[in-house]
Amino acid sequence: MKQAELSAALSEAFGVTLAPPSPERPIRTIAALADAIRAQLGDETPTVASPPPVASRQAPAPAPAPAPAPAPARQLRPVAASEGPLAGRIALVTGSGRGIGRAIARTLAERGATVVVNAFHDREAGERTARELRDEGHQARFVWGSVANEEHVEQLFDRIEAEVGGVDLLVCNASDGRLGRLPDLTQRDWDRAFRTNVTGHIDCALRAARTMAERGGGAVVTMSAVGAHRYVQGFGAQGVVKAAVEAMTRYLACELAPVGVRVNCVAAGPVYGELLGKFEDPTALSTWEAMTPGGALCTEEEVAATVAFLCSDDARALTGSVVTVDRGMSSSVDGRLPSPGRAELRAALGRAK
């Protein structure tokens, strides 16, 4: 009802007749309604009432402003030359305002890529990340939007294509999912988690593949977690949807290969960073460190380096792969590790000769 009211009011104001929405061209937002009006204005002239006569003592009415010149054909902005294994590539990293996404954006930029930073919930963080990269001499820009919103995805890629010509690399890092036990999760929690992590990333990958095919191919990297393989207390919806991400990666790898697009996945273990603070168990960090050979977890930069490798030509033989990056934490079934000290182990190795 509200859509009909808005359509009627705007049709009268602009003197146009809007066709009813259809499944092929739905109107779900004010922006879509505005686009429909612009399309009509391209063919019809809005009806404007004649102004009242002007009294002789008044100054003559100013001449109407000339009609604006038609917009020039879209021209792509040249990407500045850079050095590094990813020089000349354009990379979109979703959810890259902070955390691992921010580290991935920085690593790709340091290796020569022009990086498109994306964020939705924290726009300020995304803009700050892009600004910091530019201040350091890298090519970076920010595009706001939610991967869980199909209209946002279209607008995001339309803007990238208009500004830099398209994408060669896509890192599907944006993630959303409530932590907690399964009985604590609601239907809305599941819908949000799957919409962002699975269907949202499929939308991005397919949209990116369209432009990658025109540019000679490309690479997509999705992000999973070791919680997709084994139970992690409190990981909630994330563990389930990340398992779906890995299956999605294999299907995309098979179906996008004919157009030269590789698709791989990075399954990260617990990482030093802000996500650790979201777990309610205060002993989680020390427990995970004790389960990891060497006693230390991964850093965000180490995960980012693996993503950058999968984006590079050095990984051209890899597609459909899930690469686990957890410093060996998931190698042990029960988490119990050998306990000899370094000196004792070196002595044992010496005797083994």
- For the cut 80, the answer to whether the pLDDT of residue 33 exceeds it is no
- For the cut 90, the answer to whether the pLDDT of residue 127 exceeds it is yes
pTM: 0.75
User: Which of the pair, 190 or 45, is modelled with greater confidence?
Assistant: 190
In this predicted structure, what is the pLDDT of residue 80?
47
Are residues 248 and 222 in contact, defined by beta-carbon separation less than 8 angstroms?
yes
Identity of the amino acid at 58 = Q
* Mean model confidence pLDDT for the chain: 84
Confidence of residue 72 (pLDDT cuts 50, 70, 90): very low
- For the cut 80, the answer to whether the pLDDT of residue 75 exceeds it is no
- CA atoms 269, 270, 273, 276: torsion sign: positive
Of the CA atoms within 13 Å of residue 32, those in its CB half-sphere come to 15
Report the alpha-carbon distance of residue 229 to residue 150 in Å, rounded.
29
In this predicted structure, what is the pLDDT of residue 232?
86
Q: Give the lowest-confidence range in 208-217, 277-286, 296-305.
A: 277-286
> What number of other Cβ atoms are within 10 A of residue 152's Cβ?
20
Report the alpha-carbon distance of residue 110 to residue 301 in Å, rounded.
12
In this predicted structure, what is the pLDDT of residue 71?
36
Confidence of residue 209 (pLDDT cuts 50, 70, 90): very high
Sequence-ordered list of residues with C-beta below 8 angstroms from that of 327, at least 6 positions apart, any chain: 269, 292, 293, 294, 296, 297, 298
What would the mean pLDDT of 275-283 be, rounded to a whole number? 73
Percent of the chain with pLDDT over 70: 75
In this predicted structure, what is the pLDDT of residue 23?
52
- For the cut 50, the answer to whether the pLDDT of residue 52 exceeds it is no
Buried b (16+ CB within 10 A) or exposed e, 274-290: ebeeebeeeeeeeebbe
Report the alpha-carbon distance of residue 252 to residue 75 in Å, rounded.
31
Angle at 165 between CA 74 and CA 159, to 5 degrees: 75
* Eight-state DSSP code of residue 18: P
Confidence of residue 61 (pLDDT cuts 50, 70, 90): very low
